[in-house]
Amino acid sequence: MGAQQVAERFTELYGARPEGVWAAPGRVNLIGEHTDYNDGFVMPFALPHQAVAAVSRRDDGLLRLHSADMEGGVVELRLDALAPGTDTAWTAYPAGVVWALREAGHELTGADVHLSSTVPAGAGLSSSAALEVVTALALNDLHGLDLPRWRLARLCQRAENVYVGAPTGIMDQTASACCEQGHALFLDTRDLSQRQIPFDLAAEGLRLLVVDTQVKHAHSGGEYGRRRAGCEKGAALLGVDALRDIPYDGLDAALGRLGDEEEVRRLVRHVVTENHRVERTIALLRSGDTRAIGPVLTEGHVSLRDDFRVSCPELDLVVDTALAHGALGARMTGGGFGGSAVVLTESAEVPSLTKALEEAFTAAEFTSPRVFEAVPSAGASRLL
Ligand code: GAF
């Protein structure tokens, strides 16, 4: 939905024009999965799908929230009653951001918010981070807080971890806040240093397809947190701050020191090899050998499937079918347990690959996947 339409709907709901309209995108992660809570490397880029928010300040301590995408009317909350764990609805994302800003000492006096998002929910494409970041950017601008993008991302992560209760890392919020059009974002999640990597697949006759399996996932469930706890246990057993500190050429020695901790060994192996895959991807892109990242993506999927164990039959079917029909590489993307996969392919192969995926899903009696091309798009911005 366009900025003007969102502003008009705001005006209908709240009786006055909004002070401004902002947008924040969803993301797809090219490589670097389940590394962000291990101080590791990630490489997401922003999608053209965005959450758009029309927002005005209030001065009576009320937060009023409305979404074009959800049932129900305007939800009214008191700022001083916002507390972690009290909200299990979609409103927890924008309300959590208000809570996190206030907890960090920023004086907010209330707001009216109308949201509309084109980021598919539960598809592993960061629809929740988009809601958080668009809210944070709007309040940052309206209240003149002048916080840098990385700091807004941190506050949004705090909203997600503490207010919503999902123990996620920093990748999604940083991607939504900091990505640039035509680029992938190389992010070191230890110090949040960033590099924008030019990523123009179309110019090379390539495409990256996103295949949404329509299997819904949620990270506030136990499996994501269990993987995270297992990684932390691995770091503690190996005497390091985070698994990032295990170098790739020290992996065998580290695994040897983990004795019969089989599950932890698998988690450690994934994280250490995945960080290495991000570095290999960067090196290949820098040398102009873009097609050669395909097998690296596929290796990442095998590691997520067999070692980290966060794939599912639908995601595996996407990867197997794509590779059998000539894709250069394919992997699940995002947290897993459903959601989406990415497929790197020659542009000319897109129609036959899409058909093969649809047929494979029909034959397996799975819900038809949603397939679209991922175009590296802009990060969050003010629209009006
Ligand atoms: C989800 C989380 F929100 C991210 O922080 C990240 O851990 C990802 O899963 C896995 O790489 O998107």
Taking the C-alpha atoms of residue 216 and residue 352, their distance in angstroms, rounded to an integer, is 26
Q: 336 with 284: CB under 8 angstroms?
A: no
Residue nearest to atom 8 of ligand 1 (CA): 335
CB 331 within 8 A of CB 298: yes
Burial of 249 (0-12, 13-18, 19+ CB in 10 A): exposed
Cα 3 to the center of its chain, rounded Å: 23
Query: What's the CA-to-centroid distance between 157 and ligand 1, angstroms?
Result: 11
Cα of 37 vs centre of ligand 1, distance in Å, is: 8
Q: How wide is the angle at C-alpha 377 spanned by C-alphas 290 and 379, nearest 5°?
A: 125
Round to whole Å and give the CA distance between 14 and 309. 47
Name 113's bridge partners: 55, 65
**What is the model's pLDDT at position 220?**
60
Distance CA 369, CA 292 (A): 26
* Residue to mutate (ligand 1; options 170, 174, 219; most atoms within 8 A of CB): 219
Question: Which residues are near ligand 1 (CB < 6 Å)?
Answer: 33-34, 36-37, 168-169, 171-172, 219, 334-335
ipTM: 0.99
Which ligand 1 atom is nearest residue 335's CA? 9
What's the distance, CA 326 to chain centroid?
27
Residue 24: name the closest of 54, 50, 56, 55 by CA: 50
Please give the backbone phi and psi of residue 182, each rounded to the nearest 5 degrees, phi first. Answer: 75, 10
Q: How far is the CA of 53 from the centre of ligand 1 (A)?
A: 24
Candidates 48, 159, 36; CA nearest to 102 is: 159
Greatest CA separation for the chain: 66
Out of 172, 188, 252, 307, the active site residue is 172
DSSP 328-369: SEEEEESS-SSSEEEEEEEGGGHHHHHHHHHHHHHHTTPPPP
The alpha helices in 47-126, defined as continuous H runs, are: 92-103
Residue 291: predicted pLDDT: 98
Q: Which two tokens stand for residue 130?
A: 């988009």
pLDDT confidence of residue 342: 98
Distance in angstroms (rounded) separating the CA atoms of residues 79 and 95: 9
pLDDT in tens, the chain (384 residues): 799 999 999 999 999 999 999 999 999 999 999 999 999 999 999 999 999 999 999 999 999 999 999 999 999 999 999 999 999 999 999 999 999 999 999 999 999 999 999 999 999 999 999 999 999 999 999 999 999 999 999 999 999 999 999 999 999 999 999 999 999 999 999 999 999 999 999 999 999 999 999 999 766 669 999 999 999 999 999 999 999 999 999 999 999 999 999 999 999 999 999 999 999 999 999 999 999 999 999 999 999 999 999 999 999 999 999 999 999 999 999 999 999 999 999 999 999 999 999 999 999 999 999 999 999 999 999 999
Q: At what angle do helices 92-103 and 127-142 cross, to 10 degrees?
A: 50
Residue nearest to atom 2 of ligand 1 (CA): 168
Atom of ligand 1 nearest to the CA of 126: 12
Pocket test for ligand 1, best of 36, 42, 244 (most atoms within 8 A of CB): 36
CA torsion, ordered 345, 348, 350, 351, to nearest 10 deg:
-160
CA 140 to chain centre: 21
Q: Quote the pLDDT of residue 324.
A: 98
- pLDDT at res. 217: 78
Distance from C-alpha of 212 to C-alpha of 314, rounded to nearest angstrom: 10
Contact 120, 49 (CB under 8 A): yes
The C-alpha atoms of residue 195 and residue 314 are separated, in whole angstroms, by 33
Residue of the nearest CA to atom 9 in ligand 1? 335
Dist. CA 144 → ligand 1 center (Å): 30
Residue 101 in tokens: 């800003």
Q: Which residues pair with 62 in a beta bridge?
A: 78
Nearest to 121 by CA among 251, 23, 218: 218
**If you measure from the C-alpha of residue 260 to the centroid of ligand 1, how many angstroms do you get, rounded to a whole number?**
28
CA distance 117 to 128: 10
Nearest atom of ligand 1 to the alpha carbon of 166: 3
- 200 classed as catalytic: no
* Tokens (6 digits) for 218: 């949620």
Other CB atoms within 10 A of residue 222 CB: 9
**pTM exceeds 0.90 for this model:** yes
